[in-house]
Copies of this chain bind each other. A is one copy, B any other.
Amino acid sequence: MAENSTGGESLLFLTDEQLRKGIEAMFFAYRGFTADPDRILEGMDYGRAHHRAIHFVHRSPGTTVGNLLAILGVTKQSLNRVLRTLFDDGLVEARVGKKDKRERHLFLTEKGRALERELSDAQRARMRAAYRAAGPQAVQGFRTVLEAMMDPELRQQYQGLKEGRQ
């Protein structure tokens, strides 16, 4: 790994200046990344926190509250406030666990799936445009660097999701 095609392993990409550019790239790109869903959400009574919950419930239907807490990295009180509104509005439903009745397994309702689709269509559209413009090789590098930037536990979450474990 880390072999490049420019040959010669010049380490110029590790200068503070290059790193600063990377940092700013993350900052500006993240703004774009969240802009489209945010735009859809505003006006509805929801925010980014609802989007995240919906995203991961969609991604892992039947996931438990505890799982979601670990993935989102917030307190249960914070998540609960969000989940409650999603329950009340009929976007998410919770089913008591069959094996362990303390657990609540979370699922999107049809209405929830509709909103999820709207949000992720918008977000994917931007991502797709970026991917297309950058090309597959760049995308590969993009994912590699992002993965290396994650905290180890978060990386596990990510890879777990990536492999479809759950």
Contact = CB atoms under 8 A, between A and B. Distances in A.
Given A20-B120, A128-B14, A158-B25, A141 B148 contact: no
A163 to B, nearest CB: 10
Given A19-B131, A132-B2, A145 B138 contact: yes
A33 interface: yes
A26 interface: yes
Interface stretch (A61-69, A86-94, A149-157): A149-157
Given A2-B134, A3-B137, A28 B145 contact: no
A43 interface: no
A20 B52 CA distance: 13
The residue in A4, A134, A154 that gathers the most chain B C-beta atoms within 10 A of its C-beta is A134
Interface string A20-56: 1111111111111101000000000000000010010
